[in-house]
Amino acid sequence: MLAENLYTLRRMQRLTQEAVAEKIGVSRQAVAKWEAGETSPDIANCAALAELYGVSLDALVTFSAPVPGLPAPPRGKHLFGTAVLEEDGRVALPPKARQVFGLCPGDRLIVLGDEGQGIALVRETDLLQLLNGLRPDPAPEPPPKGGNDK
């Protein structure tokens, strides 16, 4: 996992082994051995590599791509695996997705779609909160004109 992640992330960033070595202060040979799985970087170098590649330390070390060549996700992003669309249209979210986002049975999710980008799920309460924050404050009522009531 770690060796594959190091190789894939470096290639995605279009960096050479020399460039990675220079940025974190090790030899090119060390980077080559890490990517080949012959040795592993120590924790300080893992942290430096995670920072360089913009991924969490956990993702760098433990991410296992469900599809070969898929890189570890950027910090704060997740790849939870696959979900199967059932005949009746139901989809079960992976347990880790439910855990990370605190989803519970009965939570209402809004399904958003963009034909070019795909489908997204948003918790109804989160979307409503966002939309309420975008509403302008109501305009103040104008002061009464003059003092003569008829």
The 10s digit of each residue's pLDDT in 39-50 is 999 999 999 999
At a CB cut-off of 8 Å and minimum separation 6, what does 54 contact?
74, 75
The 10 Å Cβ neighbour count of residue 45 is 16
Give the mean model confidence (pLDDT) for residues 8-19.
94
Q: Does pLDDT of 147 surpass 60?
A: no
The pLDDT value recorded for residue 137 is 64
Q: Residue 78 corresponds to which tokens in the numbers above?
A: 């997740």
CB 103 within 8 A of CB 97: yes
User: What is the predicted pLDDT for the residue at 139?
Assistant: 64
Average pLDDT over residues 62-78: 78
Rg of the Cα trace of the chain?
25
Q: Which tokens sit at 109?
A: 């999710």
